[in-house]
Amino acid sequence: MELQPPADMELTLRTLAMPADANPAGDIFGGWVMSQMDLAAFVRANDVAGGRTVTVAVNEIVFKKPVKIGDTLCVYTRIEKVGRTSITLKIEAWTRRHSQQSRDKVTEAVFIMVAVDDAGNPRAVQSEASKVA
């Protein structure tokens, strides 16, 4: 059982799971968790791309454990690859349970983002990271 996010991942987003995001059993909807992961991918990819990005694919999303009302959802990101116009990120969502100090990895996926111009057309990634990859 993993107790801590990998050291090579960056905490990109942290939010609280609220009752409005839950089903009657108190589990947070998977779509809400995925949307938080998408927000984190957007924030991190925009930094790397030097501007606006859009989500073009989500690969292999795996829901490992439920998120409960009151949990703090922490979304971690790692840049896996920077292409000419795209950025591939590994995303992990972890919870800090409201009633305890434990941390659990609840969801993971790979997101692919593409840098776009004002018209929504693909453009070259502008950051220094693109020169390294």
Query: Strands, DSSP E only, in the chain?
Result: 10-16, 53-63, 72-82, 86-96, 103-115
- pLDDT profile of the chain (133 residues), mean per 10: 82 96 94 98 96 95 94 97 96 88 91 96 77 44
Written as one letter, the residue type at 100 is Q
Q: What is the pLDDT of residue 23?
A: 93
- Cα separation, 41 vs 97, in Å, equals 23
Cut 0.85: pTM above it:
yes
